[in-house]
Amino acid sequence: MHKLASDAIATLAEQTCKAEMRNYGPRFSGNPCGRPIYSAPEYDVQPVCIMHSKDPNKSGEEFQREFERILDEAEKTETEANFTGFIFVNSDFHGRAFNSACSFFRVEFSNQSNFIQATFNGDADFTLAKFAHAVSFTGAKFERHASFYGTKFGCDASFGLAKFAEDANFAASKFKQEATFVDCVFFQSASFREAIFGQRAEFGGAQFSQTADFNAAMFTQDANFRDVSFVGDARFSRAVFSQETLFRTARFSGAAVFRDTRFRHDLSTKPGLDFTDVKIEHPEKVEFYRTDLGQALFHNTDLSKVDFTLVQWRDRGRVQHYRWRRRWYCLRRFGAIRGRKVWLKRWELLSRLVRPRVYRLCLFDEDVALAGIPALRLPERQLAKHCLSDHLASTYRQVKQDYDVAADFRTTNDWRQLNTRMRRFYGRFGWAWAKLAWALRSPNMMSKRNYSLIAETYQQLKRNYDAKGDYWTAGHWHYGEMEMKRLHSRWSWRPLRWLDQHFSLVALYKYASAYGESYIIPLLWLVFFLAAFAFLYPVPGIEFNPPPGNISAWLGYVDWTTFFHTHPAEHPSGFWGMILHSLMTSISVAGFQRELRYVPSYPWGRMLALFELVLTTTLGGLFLLAIRRQFKRS
């Protein structure tokens, strides 16, 4: 009797689903599901109910009925609709309103899911849920807390135009394909902490009304934060951005922290962080700490008060592969040298190879063509709205891609690529936009960078580092600023522009003392000119200004032997003697000496002397200025 009863209880227990309905870690275990068993042993290892069954052919009708019942009951009793661990085969909730709190905890959506324009009036909990296919929350409204903690998006996930009235938690979520948050509005804090974006992440036009937490998030492809407005703090510490990161025309109203953030660092010519046209309301709250900004673009963003600490900047020889190519070329030549004085030539080659490169910091903006061209803006918002009507995430994605084609015109360096893009662009957007694109494509626009704009950025950086007391780095920015001033030319005709760039006053300033940053260069020029004039003076000749009792005479290349014959007391004599006397004259002229033993002859020699005086005093001045610059601040 007892045995029978216990058997009956055992079979009864076996007949209900044991899947746990809630599971918050090991200590908090939920109740078993308790629904009758649905038999599909080829899909379910443990016998479970139809809601928990992984059978792809399970009756959608029955599933739907139970789903609606749970929802109804939750609405009536004002409790949570609990769908923990359910397997959704069909999930089309387009425009659906969920009036009670919903728990989609550990739910699996095995097909495409559609939550377009759905409204969640209670908490929406998608913690640890799995979307095996594309899911779209485009235009959805989350009136209460929304949790996507640890949620896995196996395909495209679209949250375009969604509104989060309370906290949105996407921490530790994984987006295997593209993640779209275009024009999303987060009315309270949003967390993407430690989220992983396997493909491009689109946040264009989104609005973060409170803290936006992207700490330790990982972006394996391009990340787009174009036009995003961060009203609260934006945190990107320890985040990894492997490819292009656009913050173009973004707006930061609170703090922005990039501590130990990793941006693209692959020594290619492609930009990593794009921080151009960014509006910063409190620049002192924007912080870059221990980040590599070697491939970052900054023009048109006010950097004068932004905090840069232990930041690694680009130096002018950064594009490594060029250097390696040069080394390889030299090495091949080293072996190929033949003929007389082989070792001398090889020595020359080697010395050129090991000569230290001038180390100077610069901005990446200098390397990117088309910098400073006003942003080409497509009505992104309209595109997004257009896509609401046809519910497919893929369409949205395509439109987004086209939008990026437009953006690419600003940064691309590759002509052939540009051409094919052009054609695609014309096909999609018609004449008006294509015309603009053609304008951008014209060679003048391609080769002419907006140097004055970059110069402004350099100036701000100089001020920034000067204020901090880092004069060494500030010197590099000064150099960059002057370099941009040199390259900026108002001529559009190429030869004229070239002349302007290489022989203007600023260019001469560069050759003479590296814009006042080097005191070695003017010193070397000084020595060079003193020697050069020593050889020049004997051409028009120098006149012997004799001590009393001697006859004056003339000394020059033409007839120096007679002079030393008639003046045997003049020592040293001979050709080199003459050069030495000339050198003394040259030094004396530079040193403002009046009583000279040998005077440059009138009129050409005097003219040379005047010329030398002007040159050497200028160089001397530059030398003193550079010295002062090096030592005055410390």
Q: Which residues bind Zn ion (CB under 5 A)?
A: 17, 19, 33, 35, 49, 51-52
Rounded to a whole number of angstroms, the minimum distance from the CB of residue 56 to Zn ion is 17
* Distance separating alpha carbons of residues 201 and 169, to the nearest angstrom: 16
Give the chain's count of helices (H) and strands (E).
17, 46
Class of residue 614 by CB neighbours under 10 A (exposed 0-12, middle 13-18, buried 19+):
exposed
Give the residue with the Cβ less far from Zn ion, 56 or 427: 56
Give the residue with the Cβ less far from Zn ion, 11 or 634: 11
> Minimal CA–CA distance to 629: which of 536, 517, 525?
517
Rounded to a whole number of angstroms, the minimum distance from the CB of residue 72 to Zn ion is 18
Give the residue with the Cβ less far from Zn ion, 51 or 393: 51
Give the residue with the Cβ less far from Zn ion, 83 or 598: 83
Rounded to a whole number of angstroms, the minimum distance from the CB of residue 75 to Zn ion is 21
Rounded to a whole number of angstroms, the minimum distance from the CB of residue 35 to Zn ion is 5
Rounded to a whole number of angstroms, the minimum distance from the CB of residue 37 to Zn ion is 9
Rounded to a whole number of angstroms, the minimum distance from the CB of residue 394 to Zn ion is 33
Q: Which residue has the tokens 């000119």?
A: 529
Rounded to a whole number of angstroms, the minimum distance from the CB of residue 17 to Zn ion is 3
Q: What is the largest CA-CA distance in the chain?
A: 152
* Distance separating alpha carbons of residues 124 and 141, to the nearest angstrom: 10
Give the residue with the Cβ less far from Zn ion, 53 or 211: 53
Indicate if the alpha-carbon torsion angle 425, 428, 429, 431 is positive or negative. Answer: positive
Give the residue with the Cβ less far from Zn ion, 17 or 250: 17
Class of residue 184 by CB neighbours under 10 A (exposed 0-12, middle 13-18, buried 19+):
buried
* Distance separating alpha carbons of residues 309 and 457, to the nearest angstrom: 17
Helices (H), 368-470: 380-389, 393-408, 415-429, 431-441, 443-447, 451-468
Rounded to a whole number of angstroms, the minimum distance from the CB of residue 81 to Zn ion is 15
Q: Give strand ranges (E) for 6-66.
A: 23-24, 28-29, 37-38, 48-49
- HSE, CB side, 13 Å, CA atoms: give it for residue 350: 9
Give the residue with the Cβ less far from Zn ion, 49 or 228: 49
- Identify the H or E element spanning 288: strand 286-289
Rounded to a whole number of angstroms, the minimum distance from the CB of residue 320 to Zn ion is 59
In angstroms, how far is the first alpha carbon of the chain from the final one? 99
Give the residue with the Cβ less far from Zn ion, 15 or 395: 15
Give the residue with the Cβ less far from Zn ion, 52 or 360: 52
